[in-house]
A = this chain, B = another copy of it.
């Protein structure tokens, strides 16, 4: 067994069950793994991956290994590490893994260090902490690194800033920008899993409830569509008038935050901004209002103001905190205002991660022959990868589609339709 640092190798069998279950929901990645095993496109590449250590990630690591890569894994977020999966990765799949759920900052950075000790030629990340460490504390390793990938918006922003400042040493593929990632995980993944989280936390009936959705970007659209699909009457709060108009044309009521505060039974926020509802709104809310966050950070609701306004609070169900207001109303906050789909449910279904991680694997394959030639900046995912992932996904669903005929291709290139 290669060196590793995980919580308890005894959990490996339970972890393998999780990895296998996820694998069955990830047919695109499984297909790529099969092809990689035959073609070995990553042969001998040393990869240091810093990702959430989950069953889905395990299947990505298996795919890299099948492609010939020499890959190690550390955690990009200690809270999301699944210790049984980490144990199985080490025990059954021979992937050196450095991750312990709930580890402290020291352990976290020691594990990133261990991953870097692998002397990566490629980095694969979720948030850019490892890239940052590499460019600051471990610069001696930079010479050998020829490329990387990044999964998140946050990471891409950091990397673009580094590139603009001339500080990025090698090219990075922004997997986040794939249509097959952000069109799908936000809309369908978060859309479903936010509802799921609320159901698990509260067991309320959605039918007949007024659900107020904060934001009508991809996340908000997905949530609005699913809340509506469960029988709720949906209200949308937006600040962008074009999006607000789309929400209205989609048949929803559109309101400002203050008006919405007075009518909502459930508030779900996915704006990416802060204080969508806050100090001025809590006094207006109905008795029994439920607040659930589906945005990345836990400041979409101004919770410190709620704490301050409330007479007391207590946990009434797992992930459901009741704030008793001085006038006797009760307001419920789910999962402490953190992402409700991760806090109270299981996050994105594996089927959604299937596409994101297929983008990762194919991004690496695309990168390999180009690694020496690309500039040290952030690259969007190539359109052909996006199309390939979508094509594989459809095939896994049993869907048959046509390609354009040559005649149609010629037509489409000579004219772009007016409608």
Judge whether A200 and B203 touch: CB under 8 Å.
no
A244 sits at the interface (CB 8 A) = yes
Q: Which of A315-365 contact B (CB under 8 A)?
A: 316-317, 320, 330, 339, 345-346, 349-352
Residue of B nearest to A219 (CB): B419
Judge whether A417 and B245 touch: CB under 8 Å.
no
A165 sits at the interface (CB 8 A) = no
Judge whether A157 and B416 touch: CB under 8 Å.
yes
A294 sits at the interface (CB 8 A) = yes
Residue of B nearest to A411 (CB): B274
A313 sits at the interface (CB 8 A) = no
**A34-42, A87-95, A251-259: which one contacts chain B?**
A251-259
Query: What's the Cα separation between A226 and B231 when bound, in Å?
Result: 8
Q: A20-B316, A249-B208, A254-B399 are in contact. Are A296 and B417 (CB under 8 A)?
A: yes
Judge whether B411 and A330 touch: CB under 8 Å.
no
Residue of B nearest to A239 (CB): B404
Judge whether A192 and B350 touch: CB under 8 Å.
no
Q: How far is the CB of A197 from chain B (nearest CB, A)?
A: 10
Q: Which residues of the other chain, B, contact A288 by a CB distance below 8 angstroms?
A: 24
A240 sits at the interface (CB 8 A) = yes
A157 interface neighbour in B250, B407, B415, Cβ under 8 Å: B415
A205 interface neighbour in B275, B352, B407, B412, Cβ under 8 Å: B352
Q: How far is the CB of A185 from chain B (nearest CB, A)?
A: 9
Judge whether B390 and A241 touch: CB under 8 Å.
yes
A242 interface neighbour in B203, B245, B273, B386, Cβ under 8 Å: B386
Judge whether B316 and A401 touch: CB under 8 Å.
no
Q: Which residues of the other chain, B, contact A386 by a CB distance below 8 angstroms?
A: 242
Judge whether A207 and B249 touch: CB under 8 Å.
yes
Judge whether A205 and B256 touch: CB under 8 Å.
no
A153 sits at the interface (CB 8 A) = yes
Judge whether A400 and B241 touch: CB under 8 Å.
no
Q: How far is the CB of A295 from chain B (nearest CB, A)?
A: 5
Q: Which residues of the other chain, B, contact A205 by a CB distance below 8 angstroms?
A: 25, 188-189, 192, 349, 351-352
Q: Which residues of the other chain, B, contact A219 by a CB distance below 8 angstroms?
A: 419
Query: What's the Cα separation between A407 and B276 when bound, in Å?
Result: 11
Judge whether A401 and B238 touch: CB under 8 Å.
yes
A183 interface neighbour in B242, B294, B350, Cβ under 8 Å: B242
Q: Which residues of the other chain, B, contact A330 by a CB distance below 8 angstroms?
A: 24
Q: Which of A209-266 contact B (CB under 8 A)?
A: 217-219, 225-226, 228-234, 237-242, 244-246, 248-259
Judge whether B245 and A296 touch: CB under 8 Å.
no
Q: Which of A389-419 contact B (CB under 8 A)?
A: 390-391, 393-394, 397-405, 407-408, 411-412, 415-419
Contacts A152-B418, A208-B351 known; list 9 others, CB within 8 Å. A183-B242, A199-B199, A205-B351, A208-B251, A219-B419, A229-B231, A241-B387, A257-B402, A258-B402
Please give the residue numbers on chain A whose beta carbons come within 8 Å of chain B beta carbons, in ascending order. Answer: 17, 20-21, 24-25, 152-154, 157, 179-180, 183-184, 186-192, 195-196, 199-200, 203-208, 217-219, 225-226, 228-234, 237-242, 244-246, 248-259, 270-275, 286, 288, 294-297, 316-317, 320, 330, 339, 345-346, 349-352, 386-388, 390-391, 393-394, 397-405, 407-408, 411-412, 415-419
Q: What 7 A-B pairs are tightest by C-beta distance, nearest first?
A: A272-B417, A229-B229, A241-B390, A296-B418, A205-B349, A241-B391, A205-B351
